[in-house]
Amino acid sequence: MRAEHDFLILGGGSAGCLLARRLWEAGKNKVALVESGQAGWLDPRIKIPAAFVHLYKTRRDYAYFSVPQPNLKNRRLFLPRGRVLGGSGSINAMIYIRGHRAVYDHWASLGNSGWDYDSVLPYFKRTEKNQRFGEPWHGTQGLLNIADLLRPHPLSRLFVEAMAEAGIPPREDLNEPETEGAGLHQVNQRQGERHSPARAFIRELVGRPGFVLLTGHRALRLVLNETGTEVSGVEVLVGKKKQTLRARKGYIVSCGAFDTPALLLRSGIGDAEALSAVGIQPIVHLPAVGKNLQDHPYLPLTMGVKNYTTYDQAETLWNILSWYVSRSRSLMTTNAAEAGGFWRSSPGLPQPDIQFHFVPAHFMDHGFVRSRSSGISLCAILLQPQSRGSVTLNPHDVWGAPLIDPAVFSDSEDLATFQKGVLKCSEVLHGPIFQALASGQDPLPNRFHDETSLQEHIRNYTELLYHPAGTCRMGTDPCHSVTSPSLQVHGISNLFVADASVMPTISAGNTHAPTLMIAEKASELIQKSFS
């Protein structure tokens, strides 16, 4: 079959959408974006910011679950991933956070030249069309609209005051290189509507010469030549039929930290012994594929409040209709986690190790459990976990969902640090500002009298914050990494990875903005490889 495209991008998530746009903009490439889900252009649950929780466990979501976690009472953790154009960027909470400069400088110190903070800052700025901030840290001419929330809840502003009372100062811009402090989040919204990667980067390309959007195409495996040094095609499933797509120049995998390693493994790229054990013929021995999985553990503490109406009862027919009538007055423009911050749990740390998210509602069980009373939630988030998990193929169904083991708290230091963050949340909730509003109607405990009760609560209710990363880490050693710093898969000349899986260590905050940065930089690196 003759190749019809110069580049095939596998995975139409945040990174894939931006990468497709940039490669197409180069003006000399024919680009095909291959996505398993559908476009979802008209889905109101994507467009209305507050409706994102209604996308979980639907056809827009892969709705993965982890294997049982021994340190969390053997619970299987819910791991939503977007199965729609824009990927998880179409179903997430829209928070725009880059993370501390030290993370990127650490990437460079591991041998990944060009990935230090000063080098990647221009790529962050290139994507961004910030409606409030400009130079030196922000871009104003990019494709993705970044804005303040139209209608932040008064309790979110009160949270910033409560944090200051607890020793964490206010910060106007949570995306400066040094991130410690608390403030309101900026979000990828435009006039109160989610500005998804699909809408920002792809919508206006549909039907343009040189660009092809292939939705409903699930990538099954890469077809390699006999020596395993080059990809000759990709086998996709369309409905119940298999097809083979080919590219003249290169193949870029942007399927995310779960499905990118799974696709490589199904293609015979990974640890040879492990592949043979599940019946896959090994072709390229790269033992790091699927290893190094990281995510951010989080735990919300909730508290009932009086004198305020919160978002617990916001989803009335009137409020939903109000979004179509007047965005500036609509409760439905909220992203739920309206405010947050960063904190060092010990004074001598080089960077914050705890993040906070504040929600003016009871946030329980990923939003599936609703409260009839008004409340608030304050989440502790472990920023730099030392625990490392894995993504492997299911030996009983290698073509199905992979086995995902985040190995939460497998490193004991993670639990010790996380406890400090949870106790800080409790301190903020029990400070004068929020105690003046406390109703006493608390569905779960938010104060702990000893370490045993604290640890029990953590093991019962800790979840992961939908930020998987690291499973195809970049590096210079093929024994411990999957791609080079130029994002080319070791030993395969025309295969690249561009998504959160290439992060050597997880970014210090929400991973959406760093993933877009990776795609921006990847577009340059890939074009240089073929110039």
Q: What angle do CA 411, 417, 421 make, to 5 degrees?
A: 140
User: What 3-state DSSP class applies to 344?
Assistant: coil
Structural contact between residues 98 and 123, judged by C-beta atoms closer than 8 angstroms: no
Spatial distance between the Cα atoms of 84 and 401, rounded to a whole number of angstroms: 17
Distance CA 472, CA 497 (A): 8
Ramachandran angles phi, psi of 522, nearest 5°: -60, -35
Catalytic residue among 467, 480, 490, 512: 467
293 Cβ neighbours under 8 A, 6+ residues apart: 257, 388, 389, 390, 391, 404, 405, 406, 407, 468, 469, 470, 471
Longest dimension (CA), the chain: 71
Mind giving me the DSSP string for 221-238?
A: EEEE-TTSSSEEEEEEEE
CA 301, 304, 308: angle at the middle one, nearest 5? 125
Give 282: exposed, middle or buried? Use CB within 10 Å, 0-12, 13-18, 19+: middle
CA distances (Å), origin 313, targets 15, 361, 416: 35, 9, 36
| 153 counts as catalytic | no
- Give every CB contact of residue 520 below 8 A, 6+ residues apart in sequence: 18, 22, 123, 124, 126, 127
Question: CA 412, CA 116: separation in Å to the nearest integer?
Answer: 29
Q: Which residues pair with 376 in a beta bridge?
A: 303
Q: How many Å apart are CA 313 and CA 98, to the nearest integer?
A: 32
Total residues found in the chain within this entry: 531
Measured CA to CA, the distance from residue 339 to residue 347 in angstroms comes to 23
Q: Is 141 exposed, middle or buried (0-12, 13-18, 19+ CB in 10 A)?
A: exposed
Residue pair 251/221 in contact by the 8 Å Cβ criterion:
no
Question: For 506, which DSSP code?
Answer: -
Token match 């080079």: residue? Answer: 484
Alpha-carbon distances, residue 409 vs 72, 292, 319, 465 (angstroms): 8, 14, 41, 14
Residues recognised as catalytic? 467
